[in-house]
Structure 1
Amino acid sequence: MARRGGVDDLVVVVPGILGSTLADADGHEVWAASGKALLRGIRTLGNSVKGLTLPAGLGDEHPGDGVRPTGLMSDVHALPGVWNPVDGYSGLLDWLERNFTLRRRLPGEAADVPANLVGFAYDWRLSCRYNAERLAERVDEELGRWRASRADRRDAKAVLLCHSMGGLVTRSYVEQCGGAEVTRRVVTLGTPYRGSLDALMYLVNGMRYGIGPVGLDLTPFARSLPSLHQLTPDYACLATAGGAPLRYAREVTGLPGVDEALLSAAARFHAELRESDAGARYGVEYVPVGGARQPTPTTAETDGDGLRALLTIDGADEGGDGRVPDLSSRAVGAGRHAYTTWEKHGSLQNNNAVRQGLDAWLSPEPPVHRGPGDGEVPLCVDAPELLVEGDAYEIRATVPPGTAGHDRIAVFAGMEGGPMRTMTNRGGGLYTCRIKGLPPGGHRVRIGARVPSHVVMTALVLVLERG
């Protein structure tokens, strides 16, 4: 067995929106389905959505409805109209334990047993500031226990590994809730520091995209969430007639589906984060990681009563991870370097290149040698995240012209657990394939290059039942 990298600090994994399971006051699961049970979970949430919809004017408080987080999602999960497919976190937690001197508290163990690997579950409906305060309570408890467990751990700090919105919760903890003093490093994977256009699209366009076959309308629920408003772009993103400069969403009056009070509160939240220097004063290191060169909605223009997404900003296609633009995932402070990899937003936490980076970000020891690898081929993958049962799943993969032999590389694709097939070379670095007969539920699609066993990236798709 390979030697594990030494970690003396407390490592906390903070998931993104939808990434925590939720239970009601009676202990019944209201959001816990993933993998094969995903569609049933979406229907179940639809049946109880009135009880989960948040009241107006909630701000940074809890609604007192008894809903509480119970754990991290383990497998592919999604909620159309709130956030599209994201992979689970069990694989990441298992990998961390195998490769580093990290230990989770086992089921049934007493709460006072020290552990230095913690999954922080939170109620993702609520504001990031509220959840940052809960994170502060959890870190104080776990870090105090870990430091007290042995004399040589007295100087241990927290290292937070965050996915998507979890990075905003964590940054609020560090900058606004006293976390800077005890935090060594914050690694963020696809965190929308300046927001994501998709969040604004969900609010404005509602559930009309892709939700029809499920037969649910979660629009009022989505529009009640402070968290979803905090994910909207904190940059000028709306095109106006006549070629005028882009405008902030908060500058546009009468934008359908948006709670203007929540949008204003979200703007203040982001402004206060930018103005804080707590992390800098205490030497907290932010390591922003983002997916690179994937087709990513960045700006939008009006389209009837809704919005139509554009992949460009001021005429330039800067890309991103398919959900969070490059300009957003790396915007964490002047002079700080962003690490990028060829991956989609929902799979960043399980990307091989990201895990190689964690050798340096988690452990002060030299990384354990795990083989030379085959050299990564950069791929830009365009594939639907939502599909209706019976429709073909069409994948387009592009290899940039700067890559040697970009127009004659063997590119492979296949469903997880199934055979990899060679994609058709269309010339000019474009490769395509169609996969038919996907059953309803959440699926992982592996895309690789050069040899079928070399997975470069993972695309996620939710197949909805027809009728």
Structure 2
Amino acid sequence: MARAGQKRLLHDAVVVVPGIMGSELVDTANDTKLWGAPHLFRYTARMQLDRFRSLALTDDERAGRTGRIKPRGLLSVHEWFPNLGGIEPYSKLVGDLRANAVHPQAVATFAYDWRLSVQHNGSRLAEFASHHLAAWRAHREYGSHMVRSGEDRPGQLLFVAHSMGGLLVREVFATPGAADEVAGVLTAGTPFAGSVKAAVVLSTGRNGAPWLPREELRTIGRTMPGLYDLLPGYRCLWDGDETRRLAAADLVAIGGDPDLAVETLSWQQRLADVQLRDHSLVVGVRQPTPASMHINSGEAVTSEELPRRKDGIPLRHPDGSSMRQVLGGDGTVCTAAAQHGEAREIPVARKHGTLMSGNLVRNMAVSALSRIRGLEELGDILGDGKFTLDAPEAVGLGEGFTIRLAGTSNPAAVNCTVEEVTGSRVTVPAPLRRDRENADTLSAACVLPRPGLYRIEVSGGTEPLSHYIMTAAADV
């Protein structure tokens, strides 16, 4: 261990694994950036559709002949995908970790083609992490630190993973011998039991992007194995007054590919019991989150409700109808689907795409990986679970919508801003006022004046709560 009185630095090899949409993707034929390009606000609907089409897997890629598209670093700008919402870059998180490491090269980032299967990318991650650990142990600063500090434990691997990235880490643990040198894992918003939103993308793209053809979005999404790996593996499909797990036939009924449906269900069963070593888990809470669905004429129609259960048995009212509950989550992954085994759970009142950018979560990542415990105390203050922010993820250009903030009835206690984040510097007034229908809620009417990706940010709690909304003109 480090000598008394010294600041504890990260002498382990750290690998940051982003979530779905979290890696830049480049067309290798012409070096065009297909995902993670700046100035998203300039995109017309036709330009957006063209880039989404380019992300669809080809027959060659489905057959394993990848290489048409390559990952190039972690996301450095804001991005957005229909029905999955917005995501923030990881630069602040990576910067904090490197600032607290023995040397910045102790912290590596793993970019991957998130369109492909978790199994494929998990295999690449295992190889990448092994090489990173070996390179770090051979680094001159590592050897010097071990002598200076009196550290008697050799450096090992630590993973910091967001969203789908946590599923890649689980794949490493499922591979014999691949996780032997892993000392600990921090995940945030990882859908260990899946997300209903993935089924919506496979369905018709309903409400995902009003300015884009719904069937086009459906066709694009159904080609991506990575999207199938995010499908819910818990009892989420309403069957009468009860819920059951999705079957391959259900996925086909909403437009899924039959082969990919069977493959992902088999993969879910194979990894269901795989546990992560020394696992700390950040779970988004209090935000409106789809938790269940029913199928209506080929569409996945979502609900925030699930049956209440005790010891696995549904609870019922005296009239025989099922008792229901709203679990909440981070807007993408409901709380139950984000939980995993015996991991130390830390609740955070933030949206899915912003989980890793908040100051408190970044501080917790540094503390956890420095082997500073007391995560339970940190969990008591993170986000504090006070506010619930609700707004659409997409609207038509010039279409009015409502922002709602539950958890307070005092407009003076909070401040709401709406700002375009990809370069146009447009701000939109959104004064919160007492909602006429809900005593504990504030609301604001808003219209976005030009195409772009906008961040709705409410300050007044432990730290700001953000939500992303996209708009574009319908020119296709």
TM-score by length of 1: 0.83
Structure 1 residue 376, shift from structure 2 partner: 4.4
Are the aligned partners of 1:196 and 1:323 in contact in 2 as well (CA < 8 Å)?
Answer: yes
Counterpart in the other structure of 2:321: none
Alpha-carbon spacing, 1:421–1:157, altered in 2? closer, same or farther (3 Å): same
Residue in 2 that maps onto 1:22: 25
Structure 1: tracts of 5 or more residues without a match: 105-114, 368-372, 400-405
Distance 2:440 2:210 in 1: 36
Q: Any idea what SS the aligned residue of 1:275 has?
A: coil
Contact 1:35 1:441 (8 Å CA) reproduced: no
Give 1:220's aligned amino acid: T
1:418-437, aligned counterparts within 5 Å?
A: 422-426=431-435, 428-437=439-448
Give CA-to-partner distance per residue, 1:279-301, whole Å, 9 cap, x none.
Answer: 4xxxx211111110111101112
1:117 pairs with 2:117: no
- CA positional deviation for 1:26: 2.4
Q: Determine if contact 2:291/2:303 at 8 Å carries over to the other structure.
A: yes
- Per the alignment, residue 93 of structure 1 pairs with 94
The residue identity in structure 1 corresponding to 2:88 is D
The aligned counterpart of 1:127 is 117
> In the superposition, relative to structure 1, how do residues 359 and 303 fare at CA in structure 2: closer, same or farther (>3 Å)?
same
Kept after mapping to 2: 8 A contact 1:9/1:159: yes
Partner-residue secondary structure (3-state), 1:338? strand
Aligned positions of 1:321-360 closer than 5 A: 321-330=330-339, 332-333=340-341, 335-360=342-367
Greater shift, 141-150 or 42-51, is seen at 42-51
Change (3 A) 1:51 1:213: closer
Aligned to 1:396: 404
Given the alignment of the two structures, is residue 307 of structure 1 paired with residue 305 of structure 2, yes or no? no
TM-superposed deviation, 1:182: 1.4
- Contact 1:6–1:365 at 8 Å: present in 2 too? no
Q: Please, which moves more after superposition, 122-131 or 20-29?
A: 20-29
Using the alignment, how far apart are the partners of 1:382 and 1:68 within structure 2?
35
State the shift of 1:251 in Å.
5.8
In the alignment, the residues of structure 2 paired with residue 87 and residue 293 of structure 1 have an alpha-carbon distance, to the nearest angstrom, of 20
Q: Residue 210 of structure 1: CA displacement?
A: 4.0
Query: Do the aligned residues in 2 keep the contact of 1:379 with 1:456 (CA within 8 Å)?
Result: no
Name the CA distance, whole Å, in 2 between partners of 1:273 and 1:54. 25
Which consecutive unaligned segments of at least 5 residues does structure 2 have? 1-5, 308-323, 375-380, 420-424
Q: Which letter does structure 2 place at the counterpart of 1:347?
A: T
CA RMSD of aligned residues (A): 3.1
Write the letter of the residue equivalent to 2:302. A
1:232 is aligned to 2:234: no
Q: Which amino acid aligns with 2:101?
A: T
Q: Does the Cα contact within 8 Å between 2:203 and 2:218 map onto a contact in 1?
A: no
The answer as to 2:457 corresponding to 1:446 is: yes
Displacement of 1:319 in angstroms is: 0.8
Question: 1:253 deviation in Å?
Answer: 7.2
Equivalent residue for 1:261, pick from 259, 262, 283: 259
Residues 54 and 102 (structure 1), Cα distance of their counterparts in 2 relative to 1, 3 Å cut = farther
SS in 2 for 1:308: strand
* Counterpart-to-counterpart distance in 1, 2:372 and 2:292: 43
Paired residue total: 430
Give the residue type in structure 2 aligned to 1:336: A
Secondary structure at the aligned position of 2:288 is classed as coil
Residues 394 and 346 of structure 1: CA distance in aligned 2, closer, same or farther (over 3 Å) = same
Cα offset for 1:366?
Answer: 8.4
Percent of pairs with identical residues: 26
Q: Bigger CA drift: 354-363 or 15-24? A: 354-363
Q: CA 1:392/1:6 → structure 2, altered by over 3 Å: closer, same or farther?
A: farther
Shift of 1:77: 0.5
Provide the rounded CA distance (Å) in 2 between the counterparts of 1:5 and 1:440: 47
| Residues 375/349 of structure 1: CA separation in 2 closer, same or farther (3 Å cut) | closer
- Change in Cα spacing, 1:233 to 1:359, as seen in structure 2 (3 Å) is same
Distance 1:235 1:66, change over 3 A: same
> How far, CA to CA, are the matches of 1:374 and 1:381 in structure 2?
16
Q: Secondary structure at the match of 1:266?
A: helix
Measure how far apart 1:461 and its partner are.
Answer: 1.4
The answer to whether the 8 Å contact 1:168/1:191 transfers is: yes
Match of 2:284 among 291, 295, 299: 291
User: TM-score of the superposition, structure 2-length normalised?
Assistant: 0.81
CA contact (8 A) 1:55 1:63 kept: no
How many angstroms apart in 1 are the aligned matches of 2:29 and 2:186? 35
Residues 21 and 72, structure 1, Cα contact 8 Å, conserved in 2: yes
Q: Tell me the equivalent position of 1:362.
A: 369
Asked if the contact 1:160/1:187 (under 8 Å) is kept, the reply is yes
Q: 1:177 to 1:309 in 2, by over 3 A?
A: same
Query: Is contact 2:222-2:255 (8 Å) kept?
Result: yes
Separation of aligned partners in 1, 2:127 and 2:262? 27
Paired amino acid for 1:17:
I
Residue 74 of structure 1 is matched in structure 2 by 76
Aligned AA for 2:201?
Answer: Y
Distance 1:407 1:44 in 2: 42
Aligned to 2:320: none
**Bigger shift: 441-450 or 9-18?**
441-450
Secondary structure at the residue paired with 1:194?
Answer: coil
* Amino acid aligned to 1:190: G
Q: Is the 8 A contact 2:173 2:274 kept in 1?
A: no
Report the Cα distance in structure 2 between the residues aligned to 1:438 and 1:449, rounded to whole angstroms. Answer: 26
Q: Work out the CA distance in 2 between the residues paired with 1:164 and 1:191.
A: 4
Cα pair distance change 1:179/1:425, threshold 3 Å: farther
